[in-house]
Amino acid sequence: MPRAAPNGLLTLDGKAPLVVAHRGASGYLPEETIEAYARAVDLGADVIEMDLLVTKDGVLVARHDPNLSISTDIAKHPEFAARKKTIKVDGETQTGWFVQDFTLRELKTLGAISTDAERPQEFNGKYKVATFQEILDFQKAKTLETGRPIAIYPETKNPTWFRDMGLPMEDKLIAMINAAGLNSKTAPIFVQSFEPGSLKYMKSKGLNTRLIQLIDGDGIDMKTGAMTYAVPVDRPYEWTQAGDMRTFSVMVTPAGLAEIKTYADGIGPWKRYIVSIQGNMGADGKAIDANKDGKVNDADANSIAPTTLVADAHQAGLFVHPFTFRNENRRLAADYKGDPKNEYLAYYRLGVDGVFTDFTDTALAARATYLKEIGR
C-alpha cells in the first residue's frame, strides 16, 4: 500500500496533482493554438502542453502531426495542392501535406481545425499555427498577467524522423529554453519525448529541466485487458531503426523504470498502463456492444484492478503524468457511469502526480472533489 504524506496526498512531492492542458483547451478549441492555450489558462490549468515539429526553414512550431491535413485547412489551399504526397512517418504510411515542406510564412497562411468531429467545429480556420517562441512569449505574459506561474510542457515529436531529414530539433529547443531563462529543474517547464535518445541527447547538451519519458501503447485486448502494440506506437522509432524490437512494455518494469531514472525525472504513460479495461465477450470471441449504441468502444468495457505502476515509479523516484483524459462518453469505461470526473478521481486516488487532459475544467473540478475527500 503506498504511503500518503501527512496531508493525505500520495504524489511523489506531496503536492496536489497537476492539471496539464493537453494541446491547450483542445476539447473546446482547435488544438495547439495560442487561443487554445489562453482558454486553458483562463480555465485554470497549471501547465500547457505542446508537441513540437520543425518547418522547412527550421522553425519549431506547435502541431501534433507532421501531416498538416489532420489539424489544418491545408486541403482547401489550392496553391499547395502539388505538395500533397504519400510518405512514411515513423514507419506508418500517410498521405497529405507535411510540415517539413512548408516555410513558417506558408504555414501562417493556414487555419487550425478541430481534430475530432465530435468537438466544436465553428472555430475551424480562425486561428493560426503557433511557433514555440510565441508560446514562450505567451507563457511569460500570462504569468505576469495572472500572477501565477504557468508552466509549459514541450514534446520533441518524431525527433529521429526529423533528424534524418536534416531538421534536428533538440539544439534549437535547448537554445530557446536557455534564452527564456527556463533551463533549471525548478523552472516552470517539463520537457517530454517518446524517444529516450532525444531526452538523453538534450541532457548531455546541458538541458537541466525536468525530463519526462513518454510510454505509449496502441490499444487494449478487450478479453484480457492487456496492452496491444502496433506501428507507429509500438516502440520508440529510434529502437525500430536500430533493430531493437522490444516494445514500450519494457519501460514499465522495475528494470525499465530504473533505466529511465538514469536520464529522466518522470514518466508519461498512456493511462491504460495504470488502469486498464475489459469488455464482455460474445460467442464469436469479440467484445460486445454492451450499451447497444451501435459501436464497440471503451463505454462497453469496465475498469479492472489497477497495476502497481504508480507505486513502482514513485519507488524508483519518478513522478507519473498519465495521458489522456477526455470527457466524451465513448472514451469512458462503463463503471465511470458517464461522468468523466469519476475517472480522474480513480487516478488521483492512486497517487498520480498530474494528468494530461483535453478538458481542464473537468480535471480541476475532480481535483477539488479529491482534495476535499482527503480533508484538504
Binding residues for ligand G3P, per CB under 6 A? 22, 51, 64, 155, 192, 214, 268, 323-324, 356
At closest approach, how far in Å is the CB of 337 from ligand G3P?
Answer: 26
Nearer to ligand G3P, 278 or 360 (CB): 360
Q: 338 — phi, psi (to 5°)?
A: 75, 5
Decide whether 173 or 287 has the Cβ nearer to Ca ion. 173
Q: Does 51 help bind Ca ion (rule: CB under 5 A)?
A: yes
Per-residue contact string for residues 316-335; x = within reach of Ca ion by CB under 5 A: --------------------
Q: How far is the CB of 324 from Ca ion (least distance, A)?
A: 8
Residue 214 interacts with which of Ca ion, ligand G3P, none, CB < 5 to 8 Å by class: ligand G3P
Tell me the longest C-alpha to C-alpha distance in the chain: 62
Instruction: Cite the DSSP H helix spans in the chain.
Output: 34-43, 104-107, 132-146, 159-164, 170-179, 196-204, 237-242, 254-261, 309-315, 340-350, 360-373
CB of 105 to Ca ion, least distance (A): 26
- Could you give the CA distance from residue 157 to residue 65 in angstroms, rounded to a whole number? 8
Q: How far is the CB of 224 from Ca ion (least distance, A)?
A: 28
Whole-number Å distance between alpha carbons of 177 and 195:
19
Closest CB to ligand G3P among 23 and 128?
A: 23
Interface segment toward Ca ion; rule CB under 5 A; list 43-51, 259-267, 287-295, 306-314: 43-51
Judged by beta carbon, residue 53 or residue 334, the one nearer ligand G3P is: 53
CA distance 118 to 41: 23
β-strand 301-303 against 277-279: which pairing, if any? antiparallel
Cβ proximity to ligand G3P: between 176 and 214 the closer is 214
- Residue 323 beta carbon to ligand G3P: minimum distance, rounded to whole angstroms: 4
Stretch that binds Ca ion, among 67-75, 153-161, 236-244, 277-285 (CB under 5 A): 153-161
CA 168 distance to own-chain centroid? 21
- Nearest residue (beta carbon) to ligand G3P: 323
Residue 350 and residue 309: Cα distance in Å, rounded? 10
Burial of 197 (0-12, 13-18, 19+ CB in 10 A): buried
How near is the Cβ of 188 to ligand G3P at its closest, in Å? Answer: 17
List the one residue out of 8, 45, 55, 52 whose CA is nearest residue 25.
45
Nearest residue (CB) to ligand G3P, 271 versus 367:
271
Closer to Ca ion by Cβ: residue 51 or 106: 51
Question: For residue 267, what are the CA distances in angstroms to 119, 192, 195, 310, 319?
Answer: 29, 9, 12, 10, 6
CB of 324 to ligand G3P, least distance (A): 6
How far is the CA of 120 from the CAs of 1, 124, 143, 246, 327, in angstroms? 42, 8, 28, 39, 13
Q: Which does 210 bind (CB under 5 to 8 A by kind): Ca ion, ligand G3P, none?
A: none
Q: Which does 323 bind (CB under 5 to 8 A by kind): Ca ion, ligand G3P, none?
A: ligand G3P
Choosing from 155, 170, 312, 353, the residue that interacts with Ca ion (CB under 5 A) is 155
Q: Which is nearer to ligand G3P, 99 or 287 (CB)?
A: 99
Residue 302 binds which of ligand G3P, Ca ion, none (CB < 5-8 A, kind-dependent): none
- Min CB(22)–ligand G3P separation in Å: 5
Distance CA 232, CA 90 (A): 6
Question: Please, are residues 170 and 133 in contact by the beta-carbon 8 Å criterion?
Answer: no
Which residues of this chain interact with Ca ion, rule CB under 5 A? 51, 155
